[in-house]
Amino acid sequence: MKRGPLHVHDKVIVESLHFEHLLHNLSAQGYELIAPTIRDNAIVYDRLSSSNELPSGWTDEQQGGKYRLKRRPDNALFGYAVGPDAWKKFLHPPIRLLWQAKRDSNSFQVLPEDHSCPKYAFIGVRSCELHAMAIQDRVFLSEPYVDPSYKSRRERVFIVAVNCGVAGGTCFCASMKTGPRVTSGFDLLLTEVLRDERHYLVTEIGTELGATVLAEVPNEPATEFDNHFVETILSNTTSHMGRDLDTEGIKDLLYRNYENPRWDATATRCLTCSNCTMVCPTCFCTTVEDVTDLAGQYAERWQKWDSCFTMDFSYIHGGNVRATTKSRYRQWLTHKLATWIDQFGTSGCVGCGRCITWCPVGIDLTEEVRAIRESELAATRSNPGGKDHDAQP
Amino acid sequence: MVSTSENTTVGKPASEPMLPRLYRIQRVHLETDDTFTLHLLPAQDEMGSSFAPGQFNMLYVFGTGEVPLSISSNPSDSPLLQHTTRAVGTVTKAMRRLGRGAMVGIRGPFGSSWPLEQAVGRNVLVVAGGIGLAPLRPAIYQLIAQRERFQRVVLLYGTRSPEDILYRQELEHWRGKFDLEIQVTVDRAASTWRGNVGVVTTLIGRSPIDPLNTVALVCGPEIMMRFSVIELEKRGLAAQHIYLSMERNMKCGIGFCGHCQFGPLFVCKDGPVFRFDRIEAVLGKPEV
Amino acid sequence: MMHSLESIIREHPFFQGLEDPYIQLIVECAKNVRFDEGKVLFRQNEPADHFYLIREGLVAVELMIPHRGFTTVLTAGGGEVLGWSWLFPPYRWYFDARALEPTRALAFDGKCLRTKCDEDHDLGYEFFKRFARIMTQRLEATKLQLLDLYGVNV
């Protein structure tokens, strides 16, 4: 049913059977589709050729150190929370060639890589993930240094966002004020509705580009009722968060508690496996690796994801500044929830819960913060006249 | 010789901070048993960006790797660069084996610089420990070049033994020629050494300084800096008048790799030169 | 220009804040000394009858180590104190000391001071307070010196 042109902020209904049409339009425009799909018993982000590959009818059960897929009673396309992959896999790739160099008698030549990359269309981006992208934008796109590869990938990406209809077992975006409602940063925003035998997507236009892509897809204007239903879905998701985190004064709380015994306790559990940093959508640390061919004539520099949990992340002068597990766990948590705020103006955490789910021993950062707060309250309870700790970084 | 002109940006790196530019080794000077200085000129006849004292470059040895090294040359000799380092790790050992004419890659200059403008009209106390003299040398050159803008300029330099003294000729030159007070001390010496023996902090205690009108620039091993600051504060210097140069693991030099974090600060872009009050709280914390 | 012994003592940083009556007492134990460059002040194991307040110059405290030769462990310059072996038995020097430059100092007779401090405990307190301070400073500096801060892998 064609009507006049669509505009930014318009809301329309797209029947689920026409979703394939949208994907097809994106492909036709040269976009490589990246969407959720099931691989090795998890919902990951990978190249998609058709909507059949979406995890239709699946959901996930997540807890500390636990992730299972389960069948849903319906055919929802997006009826699950987030999996181990984050979109940073495509914007800030795990392995990237920075440049090559060729030896040339007593000299050498540096051969820069161009920053070309595919035009990606991300399908099914959640609010927490949009916030995570914005957070990484501040890392890589701020003055005085801009990462040209990140910039070009980011600028070219088309985003089909999704309002979450399901809150994950470890989700706490509501606490971090990063969801579940998507508010900005999208080309198209979908809210999936399954009711009364119907299955459709309430679609909001975010950009002119989004309008263009949607134009050829059959759609009808969304009704009052539809919009109201979206609100109901969102409020339902909000009230079913698996976790919560009190962010009140959290920066100063962590700055005051560098010597809290809780760190020692958690260090006995932490394996420094670095899963949390791999799955976290905002963790950005990298290392570089310089390699040559056997003859030593040709060299490459590769950039790779790194983790502050590794033994020699902080190596200088024959030793590691953070040698103990305790210091490394403390570094990660304090960075994510406190020093990040001083560095980039926002928290580094978006409440996606991945670090909780994918920690092999189920360390839960919401529990860690709670324990530290509790320990302070306990201290003041047992010492009512006592002085507060100085709040200093 | 190319002098700084409007086109030369001071302290601002090339537009592609992740790509090395080629510099040719003019000279390798052995300072001590394990410490050497590379004298470098740009391979291309480019203007080459100048730098501010205290800044560092990332130096690349073909196929081996990169290390962050403070620039230790005179900024007004730009585009000439000098880097002094010990040969202790894979990259610096490989660097040590390079000879005159060999090429290295340079990315930079990066980081913050010694705030000489803050010291104008005041006494300047430079406290250097070991190889910490290298990042301070460019500042000393600038202090000398603009000597009339400062009151007393004092250099206190401590190192392990007389054999480990860096820039020996220069120290003698400075001592003799300019209005610059220099005190050198070593941790240990044979009796043939006729100078001070004892840690450099003891020189601070003895130095007649006006605490209200002095800016201190401190560089050396972290413990030496911490104890030097204790002595400076005992003498009445305020934390806002003391500057340190910090060091941490670096892989990029531009705030992307995350390795150099020191509390909320990135040593590569918030430092390496820090005003003491800014890092006071983190400096004391173990394993941060 | 000749200063009286009393005024020299009064001006020396070590005695800062010491009241006049006490200064009068210790003057009797003090004398002005001068060492030429290269002169040995004392040798290890010799009786430690004095301690020195260096006024100006530089003195090396050294030790003869077999196979290594004479090694300087520390130097003391103007305003600094040299020697505390006089405080407790067996009153013998632990190290050698040699003037690296022409050096002027105040030499205090150890026995004289010990006797006066025994007689007047207030004087004793003032003296030992100052000495304790010097010793803690020296100890802290020595710890740092031992750390070999500039060694590789620091």
CA–CA separation, B196 vs B203, rounded Å?
9
Q: Is some CB atom of chain B closer than 8 A to the CB atom of C148? A: yes
Q: What mean pLDDT is reported for chain A?
A: 95
**Is the per-residue pLDDT at B6 higher than 60?**
no
What pLDDT sits at residue A377? Answer: 93
What pLDDT sits at residue B191? Answer: 85
Sort out which chain A residues have CB atoms less than 8 A from C153's CB and list them. Answer: 317-319
What pLDDT sits at residue A3? Answer: 65
Number of inter-chain CB pairs under 8 A, A vs B: 114
Residue C5: which H helix or E strand, with range? Answer: helix C5-11
CB count in 10 Å sphere of residue A375: 13
Interface with chain B: mutation pick from C39, C59, C150, C153, highest number of B CBs within 10 Å: C150
Mean pLDDT along residues A17-44: 96
Sort out which chain C residues have CB atoms less than 8 A from B193's CB and list them. Answer: 72
The pLDDT tens digits for A37-52 are 999 999 999 999 888 9
Q: What per-residue string of b and e applies to A187-213 under the rule 16 or more CB within 10 Å gives b? A: bbbbbbbbeeeebbbbbbbbeeebbeb
**CA C50 centroid distance within chain:** 8
Min Cα–Cα distance to chain A from C142, Å? 23
Contact C71 B202 (CB under 8 A): no
Say if residues B75 and B109 touch (Cβ distance below 8 Å). Answer: no
Burial of A155 (0-12, 13-18, 19+ CB in 10 A): exposed
The pLDDT tens digits for B18-46 are 999 999 999 999 999 999 999 999 998 76
CA–CA separation, C106 vs C41, rounded Å?
12
CA–CA separation, A5 vs A214, rounded Å?
10
CA–CA separation, A164 vs A240, rounded Å?
11
Of residues B17, B19, B65, nearest to A110 (C-beta): B19
Interface with chain A: mutation pick from B248, B256, B268, B282, highest number of A CBs within 10 Å: B256
What pLDDT sits at residue C154? Answer: 46
pLDDT tens by residue, chain C, 154 residues: 456 888 888 888 889 899 988 998 899 999 999 999 999 999 998 999 899 999 999 999 998 888 878 889 899 999 899 988 888 888 999 899 999 999 999 999 999 999 999 999 999 999 899 999 999 999 999 999 988 888 875 4
Residue B181: which H helix or E strand, with range? Answer: strand B181-186
What pLDDT sits at residue B13? Answer: 46
The pLDDT tens digits for A349-378 are 999 999 999 999 999 999 999 999 999 999
Of residues B34, B206, B221, nearest to C154 (C-beta): B221
Query: Which residue type sits at B173?
Result: H
Say if residues B95 and B60 touch (Cβ distance below 8 Å). Answer: no
Tokens of B91: 């990259």
Say if residues A186 and A159 touch (Cβ distance below 8 Å). Answer: yes
Contact A306 B65 (CB under 8 A): no
Q: 């759609």: which residue's tokens?
A: A219
Residue-range domains of chain B with CATH? 21-110 (2.40.30.10), 116-245 (3.40.50.80)
Say if residues B195 and B186 touch (Cβ distance below 8 Å). Answer: yes
CA–CA separation, C33 vs C95, rounded Å?
20
Min Cα–Cα distance to chain A from C153, Å? 5
Sort out which chain C residues have CB atoms less than 8 A from A317's CB and list them. Answer: 153-154
Dihedral, CA of residue A214, residue A220, residue A223 and residue A225, to nearest 10 = -90
What pLDDT sits at residue B8? Answer: 32
The pLDDT tens digits for B66-106 are 999 999 999 999 899 999 999 999 999 999 999 999 999 99
Mean pLDDT along residues A301-313: 97
Nearest residue on chain A to B260, alpha-carbon basis = A314
Residue A156: which H helix or E strand, with range? Answer: helix A148-156
**Among the listed residues B185, B172, B178, B183, the one whose alpha carbon sits nearest the alpha carbon of residue B143:** B178
Mean pLDDT along residues A254-267: 97
Interface with chain A: mutation pick from B257, B260, B265, B268, highest number of A CBs within 10 Å: B257
Q: What per-residue string of b and e applies to B113-151 under the rule 16 or more CB within 10 Å gives b? A: bbbbeebeebbbbbbbbbbbbbbbbbbbbbbbeeeeebe
CA–CA separation, B26 vs B40, rounded Å?
5
| Structure confidence at residue B207 as a pLDDT band (50, 70, 90) | confident
Of residues B102, B251, B266, nearest to A288 (C-beta): B251
**Among the listed residues A166, A89, A164, A74, the one whose alpha carbon sits nearest the alpha carbon of residue A128:** A164
Interface with chain A: mutation pick from C147, C149, C150, C153, highest number of A CBs within 10 Å: C153
Q: 């026995």: which residue's tokens?
A: C111
**Among the listed residues B214, B210, B225, B215, the one whose alpha carbon sits nearest the alpha carbon of residue B158:** B225
User: CB-based contacts of C87: which residues, under 8 Å, 6+ apart?
Assistant: C110, C114, C131
Min Cα–Cα distance to chain B from C24, Å? 27
Q: Which residue has the higher pLDDT, A29 or A385?
A: A29
Mean pLDDT along residues A89-114: 94
Q: Is some CB atom of chain B closer than 8 A to the CB atom of A98? A: yes
Cis peptide preceding B272, ω within 30 of 0:
yes
Q: Which residue has the higher pLDDT, A222 or A379?
A: A222
Calculate the alpha carbon distances from A198 to A15, A17, A20, A52, A217 in Å.
Answer: 8, 11, 17, 19, 18
Chain A, residues 308-337, CB within 8 A of chain C, namely: 317-319
**Is the per-residue pLDDT at B12 higher than 50?**
no
**Among the listed residues B9, B17, B59, B52, the one whose alpha carbon sits nearest the alpha carbon of residue B255:** B17
Min Cα–Cα distance to chain B from A328, Å? 8
Q: Which chains touch A (3 or more CB pairs under 8 A)?
A: B, C
User: CB-based contacts of A1: which residues, under 8 Å, 6+ apart?
Assistant: A218, A219, A220
Q: Is some CB atom of chain B closer than 8 A to the CB atom of A103? A: yes
What pLDDT sits at residue A17? Answer: 95
**CA A40 centroid distance within chain:** 20
Contact B187 C145 (CB under 8 A): yes
Phi, psi of A336 (to 5 degrees): -60, -45
User: CB-based contacts of A366: which residues, under 8 Å, 6+ apart?
Assistant: A172, A175, A243, A244, A245, A356
CA–CA separation, A349 vs A338, rounded Å?
10
Q: Is some CB atom of chain A closer than 8 A to the CB atom of B44? A: no
Q: Is some CB atom of chain B closer than 8 A to the CB atom of A158? A: no
Calculate the alpha carbon distances from B151 to B139, B209, C6 in Å.
Answer: 15, 11, 35
CA–CA separation, B21 vs A108, rounded Å?
10
Beta bridge partners of A160: A123, A188
Mean pLDDT along residues A84-110: 95
Nearest residue on chain A to B103, alpha-carbon basis = A107
Q: Is some CB atom of chain B closer than 8 A to the CB atom of A101? A: yes
**Among the listed residues A297, A300, A357, A363, the one whose alpha carbon sits nearest the alpha carbon of residue A328:** A363
Sort out which chain C residues have CB atoms less than 8 A from B189's CB and list them. Answer: 71-72
CATH T-level fold of C5-146? Jelly Rolls (2.60.120)
Of residues C60, C144, C148, nearest to B160 (C-beta): C148
What pLDDT sits at residue C62? Answer: 92
| Structure confidence at residue B4 as a pLDDT band (50, 70, 90) | very low
